[in-house]
Amino acid sequence: MCDHNCLAQPASLNVVIEMTVKNKKPPAERGAKDTFARFLEEPSRESFRRLLTDNLGEGRYVDFKREWLPTHELAKKVLGFANRGPSCLVFGVAENDDKTLEPVGLDQFQDKADIQNKLRKLLPSSLMDQITTWDFSYESAEYEKIKGKKFQTLIIDYRPEYVPYTAIKGTTDLKDTAIYYRRDGLTIEASYDELQKIINDRIETGHSTRQEMDIKKHLEHLKALYDELPKRSPFFSHLTAERILGVQAADHLGQSYSEFVETMISLKKGLIAEELGLDRKSLIQGIRSGIGSKARS
């Protein structure tokens, strides 16, 4: 049952529980993951208290902040988490340099409707439906550090059939052409490998169409093209590129080999973007930070 603390009950988060069972981690880390999974499944004052006492710090699926972030920063983090897995942002908790948590508390609760309205201007509706805000207040508590303090959390459910999510509007520090992803304790633009994982997760939901299955093939072709940049292989001919891309090489006969391959890469990125229903810039930005930099290093 959803109490007055939440906007909407998040869907089942078996992904986190499954992740906890499969990964053979040290007992302390397994315990922290179990605590996190329980909190996402059933947010409550008790499960939140356990999250604070058992957690090992920020990571791929959780982030702790002393106070609420500016809307564009918050939207960026939400996008990174939503493309990665079930996760949450916790406000009113500072992380120390040694990764320990300091529950400092919030001066006051942010209005949940106001939070949603601000995010709705930057995030797609399919993602907004997966976001839930919770309030936690401890007038008395066994854990002395949280006594008399207020906290809020933003829980992000994971719906892989809708990924990748991108911003519907860009700001100074939020690109509407980027596919953000959570890597360890950072929110970054997805690399080639991370983008491939996002798409594989989407395909594995069983909701994929033939069009989505083709995306995987396009990604394999793109990797083959990037592999050619440092090799300058004489065996990779214009005819090979034509077979991969389904385009005529005649338009590119005036280019050098490397220029031709780079042109083919750009065209292939465009094809993948169209399959995903994104503009070309979105995919180019998402891939450029990963495999492109590797190929030229």
Instruction: Name the H helices within 83-156.
Output: 112-120, 125-128
Ordered by start, the domain boundaries in the chain are 14-189, 193-296
Indicate the SS3 state at residue 208: coil
For 56-94, how does the pLDDT look when each residue is reduced to its tens digit (9 = 90+)? 677 889 999 999 999 999 999 999 999 999 999 999 999
CATH class of 14-189: alpha beta
For 144-173, how does the pLDDT look when each residue is reduced to its tens digit (9 = 90+)? 899 999 999 999 999 998 999 999 998 888
User: How far apart, in whole angstroms, are the C-alpha atoms of residue 265 and residue 258?
Assistant: 11
- The pTM for the full model equals 0.65
Contact 127, 168 (CB under 8 A): no
pLDDT value of residue 278: 64
Task: Compute how many other C-beta atoms are within 10 angstroms of the C-beta atom of residue 142.
Answer: 10
User: How far apart, in whole angstroms, are the C-alpha atoms of residue 163 and residue 147?
Assistant: 39
Choose among 275, 79, 56, 81: nearest CA to 178.
79
Label residue 117 by pLDDT band (50, 70, 90).
very high
Instruction: Please give the structure tokens belonging to residue 247.
Output: 């385009």
pLDDT value of residue 211: 57
User: How far apart, in whole angstroms, are the C-alpha atoms of residue 180 and residue 166?
Assistant: 7
